[in-house]
Structure 1
Amino acid sequence: MPQLTLYGYYKSSCTTRLRIALALKKIEYTTVFIDFFNKEHRGAAYAAINPNMSLPTLAADEGDGQGPVYITQSVAALEYLEEAFPDNGVHLLPNNAADRARVRSLVEVVVADLQPRQAAQTLEKLGNDFNANQDQKVKWAYDWCIKELQAYETLVTATGLAGKYSVGDTLTLADVCLVPGIQNAVERWGVDLDKDFPALAKIYENLKAVPEVQGAHWSQQPDAPKE
């Protein structure tokens, strides 16, 4: 069985995806904390394993003497967990090909359309290159959250996908990615989920009741600041 190491940061939404999936699939792993705030992810040591200098990285060591495989994108890591640990915990991709495509489409709304547009490096570039102030950065992030969460809401309601979770009553990779996306939208950018997205509000309430989701929240991580 591969030995896993998760390089991450407590506030990283992409890292949160992996924490949720690893917990749901009951996979043991070691954590290496990367201090994003102090730009440790841009140092030579981390760049050597992830040239994109993004978080997280999942290292998988098969014990064959070849050293670990470094999986440097969160969705690739999530798919790896499904393939490498098919009998662990829950299955996060449906058996039906059409439903798998639906799940992957929702995943992409979050990881390709929502998250990059309000990521730290995007907001940093808006400030550095276009002199955006904090209020303008917040408006930028808020507006993109509204647009992409509306797309997600429409997909799960107009097609009748939504049940207890995003695709029926079984938690999938779509939900794993949705949770930190909503946490950012609500906690950082002030989106009113109940007012603007009633279907997502219900789904999120169900997801918040899942112990593995609760334990993956940034405030519960060992590297999170303690009040």
Structure 2
Amino acid sequence: MITLYDYHRSTAAYRVRIALNLKGLDYHQARVNLLQGEEAGDDYRAINPQGLVPALAVEDGVLSQSLAICEYLDELHPDPPLLPGDALQRARIRALAQTVACDIHPVNNLRILSYLTGTLGVDEGQKRAWYHHWIDEGLRAIEQLLEQHACGGPYCFGDRITLADLCLVPQVYNARRFELDLTPYPRIVAIDRQCLGLDAFERARPENQPDAV
């Protein structure tokens, strides 16, 4: 049995839930409550020394980092492929996915926001301004990338779900949660709407997880 160490609102874990669902894999969810600091405890640090979610326990060990996990799943279970196409297209898919996972998400995740408010004394309004600034900058770039590539389908790269969609949809979820105006990003909004019509994405939504209380 695959075990996903998970927190329902973690966008990184959200990506992996979508991947597992798309691949049709059964998995057990082990809750790591980030709001209660469980990720920093010795028990979880023994599983993932970074103290981050997700982590994926498989027969041969434990994997961390959501993009690495998604590519691992894609290599073992290649249908449907998350990185289809030729080398150029796969590089473009990875670039868009990494725009979310490496540029937008790291400066806006819970531990960064908690440091801003708890250690630096930033108030809630300033925290929200920080969040909006970085996600707005990232989504603006993604919208332009989607226009440049213009693959002519309902998803980021044509008519097939890719790793880029798995990263984009959770980030849009967070943008809405923090009340960012998405009007300037019609392509992103359309892709998000299309993806959420699929069962694999619907079942992965934060509000549909066992720990969503």
Normalised-by-shorter TM-score class: over 0.9
Between the two proteins, the alignment pairs up a number of residues equal to 213
TM-score, scaled relative to structure 1: 0.90
Aligned to 2:70: 78
Cα distance per residue 1:89-113 (max 9 Å; x no partner): x111113111111100001100001
Aligned to 2:95: 105
> Of the candidates 33, 43, 47, which is equivalent to residue 45 of structure 1?
43
For 2:86, the aligned partner's letter is N
What is the deviation of 1:162? 5.5
**In the alignment, structure 1 residue 179 sits paired with structure 2 residue 177:** no
User: For residues 16 and 162 of structure 1, do their structure 2 counterparts lie closer, same or farther at Cα, with a shift above 3 Å needed?
Assistant: farther
What is the deviation of 1:8? 0.5
**Gaps (5+ residues) in structure 1?**
62-67
Contact 1:156–1:162 at 8 Å: present in 2 too?
Answer: no
**In the alignment, structure 1 residue 117 sits paired with structure 2 residue 107:** yes
RMSD (Å) for aligned C-alpha atoms: 1.2
Once residues 131 and 150 of structure 2 are traced to their aligned partners in structure 1, the CA distance between those partners, rounded to angstroms, is 28
**In the alignment, structure 1 residue 25 sits paired with structure 2 residue 19:** no
Aligned to 2:179: 190
Once residues 85 and 149 of structure 2 are traced to their aligned partners in structure 1, the CA distance between those partners, rounded to angstroms, is 19
Cα distance per residue 1:124-178 (max 9 Å; x no partner): 1212342111110011001111100011110010232452100111110100111
Once residues 161 and 151 of structure 1 are traced to their aligned partners in structure 2, the CA distance between those partners, rounded to angstroms, is 17
Once residues 92 and 20 of structure 2 are traced to their aligned partners in structure 1, the CA distance between those partners, rounded to angstroms, is 22
TM-score, scaled relative to structure 2: 0.96
Aligned to 2:205: 217
For 2:63, the aligned partner's letter is I
Contact 1:107–1:173 at 8 Å: present in 2 too?
Answer: yes
* Secondary structure, counterpart of 1:70 in structure 2: strand
For 1:54, the aligned partner's letter is L
User: For residues 135 and 211 of structure 1, do their structure 2 counterparts lie closer, same or farther at Cα, with a shift above 3 Å needed?
Assistant: same
Among the aligned pairs, what percent are the same residue? 36
**In the alignment, structure 1 residue 127 sits paired with structure 2 residue 125:** no
* Secondary structure, counterpart of 2:212 in structure 1: coil
**Gaps (5+ residues) in structure 2?**
none
What is the deviation of 1:205? 1.2
* Secondary structure, counterpart of 1:158 in structure 2: helix
Aligned to 1:201: 189
